[in-house]
Amino acid sequence: MGYRKEHDSMGEILVEEEKKWGAQTQRSLEHFKIGGERMPEEIICAFALLKKSCARINCRLGRLEEERERAIGAVCDRILAGDYADQFPLVVWQTGSGTQTNMNVNEVIAHLAEEMGCPMHPNDHVNMSQSSNDTFPTAMSIAAVLALRERLLPGLAEMEGELLRLERENRDVIKIGRTHLQDATPLRFSQEISGWRAMLGESRKMVEAALPALSQLAIGGTAVGTGLNAPRGYDALVCAEISAETGVPFRPDPNKFHALTSKDAFVFAHGAMKALAANLMKIANDVRWLAGGPRCGLGEITIPENEPGSSIMPGKVNPTQCEAVTMVAVQVMSNDTAVGMAASQGNFELNVFMPVCAYNFLQSARLLADAMESFTRHCLKGLKANRDRMAELLQNSLMLVTCLSPEIGYENAAAIARAAHREGRTLREAALESGLISAERFDALVRPEKMVGDEG
């Protein structure tokens, strides 16, 4: 294996010949052998978009030669296409400002540009009018917004649509409700599903509400927020360029001192993802409880049998999609703690917990999007109501007695329910034996279809 000498302001260092990075990347590799969590691909792609946009604006303002602008743009396009994914090896556990990842990107772009015959310096040209302190938070924001808009929200919409289909399919199915894990009054299965769907709708609104603040970029703040070494109006021009590249509206943060030190937009947006995780936990738990069985559980619904569920019990099938969703929910809730704590560490003019904040945020968005897609395709699309089982449990429920309360009073109705349960009799038998209501009146009042409200 051959080596070449690379240098930076601290001197020379050896880098493997085939690697495209330079001295600062190599120093980071040698000094931060911590864990195996690499800087997310989304961050690298966001940096490529940013560097391309910055080069274009620097050229437009007469600060960067056209040849260099074209070379930077060409290299960034190849990075966005995934051609050099192995050239960004740095771990999350590095400098808290993300400086080394910024320089990793700068060095790879400069090295590849030179291979194209265009002399390039990673700091003087690729990093022109920028600082790691404004580029890393900018890349974070770009990556976060794109992850929510392009992955998470479409996954939410697909799951909402599938629940709407199930809701329409089950409008005529009446089942027993449950509160406190105990029998309650009846409802339509479609009404139960509508609650799940509404949860996703509210989560979608929360995520969408988080996008405007998350779309405010730190670029133009440079080292401490003053904009030193960046031209006037640079921030707005770069944001416009990024918006044109992505088709997503980005704008400058109006206060760069806020942009560099605060991560409140990430806390707010991740809070929306945590709320989504909580809702998904509830939905997945409901589904696996309702599908419990096949003979000794509730068994009110059936879900797809995707794979064997036991290495020892032949024929056993488990609600594995539900379990995957609930594990994702736990991870997202844990990530929320990390994001919140990282955001609290904005000391003076810079937050230095940005890599861990970005890593956890993007992992949550990725996990939620993947989990919803998997759950929708491999569980919800095959979910079926077990109408016979629902009818059996409905007719056997003691809580149908609730509709007798207006006629005979709460305490009398409660006594009938207790007697039926204690003696193992039907509600109708216990009610008629009480002498408090006639058979005709009981049959007129105890009609589940009249107890579920409007169909819609």
pLDDT tens-digit readout, 421-432? 999 999 999 999
pLDDT above 90 covers a percentage of the chain that reads 99
Interval 103-111 mean pLDDT: 98
pLDDT in tens, 353-386: 999 999 999 999 999 999 999 999 999 999 999 9
Domain ranges for the chain:
3-128, 147-173+188-214+255-386, 397-450
Whole-Å CA distances, 10 to 6, 124, 245, 354, 383? 11, 16, 36, 25, 62
Q: How confident is the model at residue 456 (pLDDT cuts 50, 70, 90)?
A: very low
pLDDT in tens, 70-93: 999 999 999 999 999 999 999 999
Name the fold adopted by 3-128.
Fumarase C; Chain B, domain 1 (1.10.275)
Hey, which residues are catalytic here? 180, 310
Given 3.30.70.3270, 1.10.40.30, 2.60.40.2140, 1.10.10.10, which CATH number is that of 397-450?
A: 1.10.40.30
pLDDT in tens, 12-67: 999 999 999 999 999 999 999 999 999 999 999 999 999 999 999 999 999 999 99
The CATH architecture that domain 147-173+188-214+255-386 belongs to is Up-down Bundle (1.20)
Model pLDDT, residue 455: 57
Least Cα distance to 241 among 226, 219, 263 occurs for 219
Q: Using an 8 Å Cβ cutoff, are 347 and 306 in contact? A: no
Dist CA 119 CA 128 (whole Å): 15
User: What mean pLDDT value characterizes the chain?
Assistant: 97
Q: How confident is the model at residue 269 (pLDDT cuts 50, 70, 90)?
A: very high
Over 90: is that where the pLDDT of 1 sits? no
Q: Using an 8 Å Cβ cutoff, are 219 and 50 in contact? A: yes
pLDDT in tens, 274-286: 999 999 999 999 9
pLDDT in tens, 159-213: 999 999 999 999 999 999 999 999 999 999 999 999 999 999 999 999 999 999 9
